[in-house]
Amino acid sequence: MTMVIGPRSARALPEIRHTTTFRLVTTLGVMFVIAVIALLGLTYVLTAAQLTSRSDQVLFKDMHELAGVPRAQLPNAVDGLIVTNASGLTFYGLVGPDGRKLAGNIVLPDGVHGGAPFDLPAGSAAAVPLRAIITRLPDGTRVEVARDTSPIIDLRHRIFAIMATSGLAVILIALVAGWLLSLGPLRRVAQFRAVAMRIATGELGPRMTISRRSDELDLIAGMINAMLDEIERLMEQVKGATDAIAHDLRTPLAHLRHRLQTLARRATGAEADPDPAVAEAIVDIDMVLRRFNALLRISELEASGRQAGFGPVDPMTLLADIAELYEPLAEERGIGLSLEGAYGHDILGDETLLLEVVSNLVENALKFVNPGGQVALSVRRTGDAIVIAVCDNGPGIPEAERELVLGRFRRGSGAARTTGMGLGLNLVAAIVNLHGFALSLEDAEPGLCVRIACQGRENAR
Amino acid sequence: MTHVLVVEDDGDVAAIILAKLSEQGFTVRHATTGREGLACALAERFDAITLDRMLPDMDGLALLARLRAEQIAVPVLLLSSMSDVDQRIAGLRAGGDDYMVKPFSPEELAMRIEVLLRRHGEYPDNAMLRVGDLELDLIKRKVWLGREPIPLLQKEFRLLEFLARHPGQTISRQMIFEQVWGYFFEPTDNLINVHIGKLRRKLDRPGRPPLISTIKGEGYRLDPA
């Protein structure tokens, strides 16, 4: 149940992924990528169409030229065109109705009709892919013009590769930019979280830092700070009221006690025992006064935060003193009180306050354990910490109630049959807090184990 | 006649103190400010002073320091609403002889003043302490009742010694806790009762009146009988 709180040092990628900035930047990046793909895609389609149309124009021009040539001179014209075609990319063919080549350097597969250009894959008529047009003369002779499209296809592939690469680069840039842009706000969020953690542990002093940028984080930080101020003010008010009540009631109660005592004396004479009823009333008033004193003491401790009385303390000596103090009480109740551990551990603390802590814990244990039970005091080194434990085999405290019993006036449900102030554990918590030690209530199966993990002096601040 | 100076600005508290101390048969002088208190303390000889820690014109500790600087060794009981241990230590360091947290019962105040008076009186500090049949060797830390030696543990001896130094005087549980154990937090009544009970079992003999009486609501008293 002990909460361990510490700043998370590493900013892992999964964490960044959840930041608003990162989401915004990546969303923008994705949209940018879509736009780039659309733009490049359109460019690609248009360029491809343009290139095709250019080769179609060449095809039409050559076909047009051949169409104007009388039938008898066509073979010569075809050969002439082949010679004059410097690029070598255009092929010409004159194929008779029987499928025999009459002239030219190509024969396209038959079966294609009409005057529109069409594509032929590589290997069907030539080794290269072709764009071709065929004109069928009235006598069945076919005039064929084809153009090698491999440079165009090549170009298309290259454009596609360029576009894919640049698209990927854009996506990558967007991710990196998102990550970098997220770092700043994330650092501030981490600061906020560290402050919030401290506040969650009950320290109401710290505030969120506000930068001079007045951005939305500053706005939120400002609002949180204002809320904290208000909470602190209210808490002060409530605490102040409680303390004032306790303080103001103490004096009249002391007067009342005095009057009762005078009354008792007057009735019975100075030497005799006072009237039992009056004596009971005085005992009751004493209990109320003790409660008020405890309340005020807790307030003092919570408010002071001072460590003026701190010095080296050997926890074992402390436990031994308490064991000696409570031994007769334990014996009277038929409860075993044991002490375990070694001398020589060294913690930094206020001895008087720590004595009060252990005394409270032992007092509580003796109150709840049945005759025949055991209360064990121990000091143990666990890792860096020196752990003072007060364990018993009494009824214990149900897990759900353990946190509650530390609060002011709270008492576990099992406490109904015993008298108690209900402030003991709260006082313990206040003192342990003042020392910066960790307090935990654990199940001793059966019973309760209260542990105080103290920093050894060598590890102390 | 025991002469006590009460330096206290709170009228109600002062009235209670004055009434109680007069009832004890003391002559009392009341000062409401630090200056007045200091003037009184310098002008007259007192057997004890009760000094409020917070006075309207000066800190009680400052007044105390002035007194000690003037070589006035009168026992001083500091009264304060500050229950903090640090405050108590500061008070005792400044030369206070005892420290009481307000509110207090007038009986406890009277008891503490008695203790202070006796402490400053001439009781034997390194010899035998005798109360009726009870004999304490303060050096060898041994106890006899009549001629019978009574084996006591260290704390039991200190408890008996404290009671025996103030025979016939009621001592509160808080005082016992502070003086015998040196602890300043409030013990439960039961805790001190049990220690007293243990001591009683060792001291009481059938047919004899108990040595230590319980004064209900106040504390314990070792009767010299």
For residue B6, the model assigns a pLDDT of: 94
pLDDT for the residue numbered A272 = 59
Chain A residues within 8 angstroms (CB to CB) of chain B = 247, 250-251, 253-255, 257-258, 261, 264, 273-274, 276, 279, 282-283, 286, 289-290, 293-294, 296-297, 300, 304, 306, 308-309, 324-326, 328-329, 332, 350, 352-353, 355-356, 359, 363
Please name the member of A290, A353, A359 whose beta carbon is closest to the beta carbon of B85. A353
- A31 strand-pairing partners: none
pLDDT beyond 60 at A11: no
Confidence at residue A88, expressed as pLDDT on a 0 to 100 scale? 78
In a domain, residue A211? The reply is no
Give me the pLDDT at residue A254, please. Answer: 77
- Preceding amide of B103 cis, omega within 30: yes
Listed residue (B106, B85, B83, B90) closest to B20, CA to CA: B106
The answer on A196 and A259 residing in a single domain is no
Could you read off the pLDDT of B57-114 as tens digits, one per residue? 888 888 998 888 888 889 999 988 766 666 777 777 788 888 888 778 788 888 889 8
Angstrom CA distances, B142 to A143, B151, B192, stand at: 142, 7, 22
Check CB contact under 8 Å for B83 and A300: yes
Q: Is the ipTM of this complex over 0.90?
A: no
Q: A160, A184, A201 — which closes off a domain? A: A201
**Same-domain pairing of A39 and A183:** yes
User: Which of A268, A285, A290, A297 is most worth mutating to test chain B (most B CB atoms within 10 A of its CB)?
Assistant: A297
Claim to verify: residue A288 and residue A361 sit in the same structural domain: no
Task: Give CA–CA dist A19/B185, Å, rounded.
Answer: 53
Distance (Å, rounded) from C-alpha A60 to C-alpha A58? 5
Of the candidates A284, A257, A260, the residue with the CA atom closest to the CA atom of residue B105? A257
Same domain, A300 and A315: no
Percent of chain A with pLDDT over 70: 85
Q: Do residue A25 and residue A55 come from a single domain?
A: yes
Residue A20: what pLDDT? 75
Whether the Cβ atoms of residue B170 and residue B107 lie closer than 8 Å to each other = yes
- According to the model, what pLDDT value does residue A323 have? 93
Assign residue A335 the CATH number of its domain: 3.30.565.10
* Model pLDDT, residue A339: 93
Copy the structure tokens of residue A419: 């008298």
In angstroms, the CA B106 to CA B112 distance is 10
Q: Which chain B residues are within 8 Å of A355, Cβ to Cβ?
A: 183, 185
**Domain total of chain A:** 3
Cβ contact A394:A370 at 8 Å: yes
Residue of A nearest to B168 (CA): A271
Residue whose entry in the numeric block shows the structure tokens 């314990």:
B220
Q: Is the Cβ pair B83, A293 closer than 8 Å?
A: yes
pLDDT band at A268 (very low <50, low <70, confident <90, very high): low
For residues A430-440, b (16+ Cβ closer than 10 Å) or e, as one string? bbbbbbebbbb
Q: Among A262, A284, A304, which residue terminates a domain?
A: A304
pLDDT of A119 strictly over 90: no
Residue A295's domain comprises: 226-304
Question: Is the CB of residue A390 less than 8 Å from the CB of residue A375?
Answer: yes
Instruction: Give the separation between CA A46 and CA A113, rounded to whole angstroms.
Output: 27
Lowest-confidence pick of A74-83, A215-224, A412-421, B178-187: A412-421
Helix (H, G, I), strand (E, B) or coil at B22: helix
Supply A406's token pair: 């530390």
pLDDT tier at A183 (50, 70, 90 boundaries)?
confident
Residue A347 pLDDT exceeds 80: yes
Quick one: average pLDDT of A340-359? 88
| Backbone dihedral region for residue A392 (phi beyond 0: left; psi -120 to 50: alpha; all else: beta) | beta
Query: Tell me, what CATH number does A249's domain have?
Result: 1.10.287.130
CA dist., res. B144 & res. B130, Å (int): 10
The per-residue pLDDT for range B30-60, each reduced to its tens digit, is 999 999 999 999 888 899 999 998 888 888 8
> Quick check: A325 pLDDT over 60?
yes
Largest CA distance in chain B: 59
pLDDT category, A81, cuts 50, 70, 90? confident
Q: Following DSSP, what letter does each residue of A264-282 receive, concatenated?
A: HHHHH-SSSPPPHHHHHHH
* Percent of the residues in chain B that have a pLDDT greater than 90, as a whole number: 20
With tokens 């103090």, the residue in question is A325
Choose among B20, B181, B189: nearest Cβ to A325. Answer: B181
* DSSP code of residue A456: B
Assess whether A36 and A105 both reside in one domain: yes
- Look at A300 and B215 and tell me if their CB atoms are within 8 Å: no
How many angstroms separate the CA atoms of A19 and A182, rounded? Answer: 7
- Condensed to tens digits (0 to 9), the pLDDT of residues A272-310 reads 566 778 878 887 887 787 777 777 777 777 666 555 567
Q: Is B198 on the interface with A (CB under 8 A)?
A: yes
Contact B152, B164 (CB under 8 A): no
Question: Do A275 and A324 have their domain in common?
Answer: no
Q: How many helices (H) and strands (E) does chain B have?
A: 8, 12
A171-209 burial, b if ≥16 CB within 10 A, otherwise e? beebeebbbebbeebbebbeebebbeeebeeeeeeebbe
Q: What integer pLDDT is reported at residue B88 of this predicted model?
A: 73
- CB-CB neighbors (< 8 A) of A264 in chain B: 217
Pairing of strands A101-104, B76-80: unpaired
Identify the pLDDT of residue A418: 44
Residue A90: which of A138, A123, A121, A57 has the closest Cα? A57
State the pLDDT confidence band at B216, using cuts at 50, 70 and 90: confident
Nearest chain B alpha carbon to A364: B188
Residue A212 lies in a domain: no
What pLDDT score does A417 carry?
43
pLDDT at residue A258 greater than cutoff 80: no
Residue A226 confidence (pLDDT) above 80: yes
Q: Mutate which of A255, A295, A302 to disrupt the B interface (most B C-beta within 10 Å)?
A: A255
- Asked whether the beta carbons of residue B216 and residue A296 sit closer than 8 angstroms, the reply is no
Chain A: closest CA distance from residue B56 (Å): 19
One DSSP character per residue, A329-347 reads HHHHHT-EEEEE--TT--E
The H or E element that residue A153 is part of is helix A150-200
Same domain, yes or no: A47 and A167: yes
End-to-end CA distance of chain B: 25
What is the DSSP code (8-state) at residue A109? P
One domain, residues A293 and A315: no
- The string of pLDDT tens digits covering residues A397-408 is 877 777 766 655
Whether A461 maps to a domain, the answer reads: no
Contact B185 A356 (CB under 8 A): yes
Taking only the tens place, the pLDDT of each residue in A148-179 is 888 888 888 888 888 788 878 887 887 788 78
Residues A100 and A7 in one domain: yes
CA distances (Å), origin B5, targets B47, B48, B79, B107, B133: 8, 6, 13, 17, 37
pLDDT value, residue A412: 46
* Between A361 and B182, residue with greater pLDDT: A361
SS3 A143: strand
Q: Of the candidates A223, A243, A245, A224, which has an alpha carbon nearest to the alpha carbon of residue A235?
A: A243
A309 neighbourhood in chain B, CB within 8 Å: 85-86, 89
* pLDDT tens readout for residues B134-179: 888 888 888 998 888 999 988 899 999 999 888 888 888 888 988 8
Confirm if B10 and B79 have CB atoms less than 8 A apart. no
Q: Å from B217 to nearest chain A CA?
A: 6
* B83/A350 touch (CB, cutoff 8 Å), yes or no: no
The model's pLDDT over A16-75, given as tens digits with 9 standing for 90+, comes to: 677 777 778 778 877 877 887 888 788 888 888 888 888 888 888 888 888 888 888 888
Closest CA to A356 of A424, A433, A420: A424
Rounded to the nearest integer, the mean pLDDT of chain A is 80
Q: What is the pLDDT of residue A414?
A: 47
Of A283, A304, A325, which marks where a domain is finished? A304
Q: Residue A111 has what pLDDT?
A: 66
Q: Do A254 and B198 touch (CB under 8 A)?
A: no
Same domain, A197 and A72: yes
Across the A:B interface, residue pairs with CB atoms under 8 Å apart total: 89
Position A320 in a domain: yes
Close Cβ partners of A147 (under 8 Å, ≥ 6 residues apart): A55, A58, A59, A89, A90, A91, A130, A131, A132
Residues A287 and A328 grouped into a single domain = no
Nearest CA distance, A325 vs chain B (angstrom): 8
Q: Which three-class secondary structure state does DSSP give residue A33?
A: helix
